[in-house]
């Protein structure tokens, strides 16, 4: 049975919690380790949701959906190239922000400022040399990410540091849901309530199992690590005042307003 876990702040204190209907029950410890369930229950609407995990390493897949590659190639006037192995990259923790937090558009950023709605696998069990057929045993649950990107900077920044890792460019949440089959999910992206993209979440070039097996040949995964699985389609531009939502069926909806840097 699926369980829904979050990190939240209430009364100045941060903790993980188990969501039960409209309330959240604080736990001592992280959900993927031995923990105690406390008797501290809060209305979900009364707490501030935090990013559901603070990863030790923040993995992502650069380019992992065919249509996204085709559209990007078209814009640059080149032939699309599909990667023959997973494109393994990183994002930076400073950029993470929670469900509801503003995505702050830097003063000197350009108009081509875009969302990318992504499935996020949250690792629950340490592992190295994980075989593909056992990879999902290392996934604790699933959350949602928005890989916000400034495309002009993206062309110039070799490591995408600023293009994809400026503060607030990585909304993640609202929570983690366990025991789901990602192969049946649908990702829907809305800008100001209007649906702007919809794709089968599992329509990846390299699936979650392949990614985990490939990385873990050389790198140990630790509980709390995240893997962002890439996006499909051809994103539109966001501007201050907009609200971006990424919904993945059976997980929930990650919603963030865009504001201008003051």
Residue closer to a copy of itself by CB (options 56, 250) is 56
Residue 132 lies near a copy of itself (rule: CB under 8 A): no
What does the alpha-carbon distance between residue 5 and residue 176 come to, in Å, rounded to a whole number?
A: 5
What does the alpha-carbon distance between residue 123 and residue 135 come to, in Å, rounded to a whole number?
A: 10
Residue 88 lies near a copy of itself (rule: CB under 8 A): yes
If DSSP codes are grouped into helix, strand and coil, which group holds residue 79? coil
Q: Which residue, among 64, 80, 84, has the nearest Cα to 72 in the 3D structure?
A: 80
Segment contacting a copy of itself by CB under 8 A, of 42-50, 192-200, 217-225, 230-238: 217-225
Residue 80 lies near a copy of itself (rule: CB under 8 A): no
Among 220, 234, 250, 253, the residue binding a copy of itself under the rule CB under 8 A is 220
What does the alpha-carbon distance between residue 254 and residue 172 come to, in Å, rounded to a whole number?
A: 7
Q: Kindly report the backbone phi and psi dihedral angles of residue 4, in degrees, each rounded to the nearest multiple of 5, phi listed first.
A: -115, 125
Among 10, 25, 62, 257, the residue binding a copy of itself under the rule CB under 8 A is 62
Residue 92 lies near a copy of itself (rule: CB under 8 A): yes
Written as six digits, the tokens of 13 are 């204190």
Segment contacting a copy of itself by CB under 8 A, of 2-10, 55-63, 69-77, 234-242: 55-63
Residue corresponding to tokens 């890989």: 147
Residue corresponding to tokens 């873990």: 216
Residues of this chain that interact with a copy of itself (CB under 8 A) are 54, 56-57, 59, 62, 87-90, 92-95, 106, 128, 157-159, 161-162, 165-167, 215, 218-222
């Amino acid at each position: 049975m699926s369980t829904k876990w979050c990190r939240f702040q209430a009364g100045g204190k941060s903790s993980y919690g188990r969501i039960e209907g409209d309330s959240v029950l604080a736990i001592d410890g992280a959900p993927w380790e031995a923990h105690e369930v406390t008797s501290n229950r809060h209305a979900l609407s009364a707490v501030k949701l935090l990013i559901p995990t603070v990863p030790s390493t923040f993995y992502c897949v650069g380019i992992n959906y065919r249509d996204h590659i085709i559209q990007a190639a078209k814009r640059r006037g080149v032939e699309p190239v599909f990667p023959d192995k997973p494109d393994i990259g990183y994002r930076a923790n400073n950029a993470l922000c929670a469900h509801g937090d503003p995505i702050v558009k830097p003063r000197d950023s350009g108009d081509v400022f875009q969302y990318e709605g992504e499935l996020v696998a949250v690792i629950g069990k340490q592992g190295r040399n994980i075989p593909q057929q056992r990879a999902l045993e290392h996934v604790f649950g699933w959350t949602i990410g928005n890989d916000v990107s400034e495309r002009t900077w993206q062309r110039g920044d070799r490591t995408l540091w600023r293009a994809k890792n400026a503060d607030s460019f990585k909304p993640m949440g609202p929570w983690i849901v366990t025991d789901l089959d990602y192969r049946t999910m649908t990702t829907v992206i809305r800008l100001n309530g209007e649906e702007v993209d919809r794709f089968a979440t599992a329509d990846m070039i390299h699936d979650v199992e392949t990614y985990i097996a490939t990385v873990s040949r050389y790198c140990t995964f630790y509980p709390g690590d995240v893997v962002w699985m890439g996006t499909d389609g051809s994103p539109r531009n966001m501007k201050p005042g907009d609200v971006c939502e990424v919904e993945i069926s059976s997980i929930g909806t990650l919603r963030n307003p865009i504001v201008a840097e003051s």
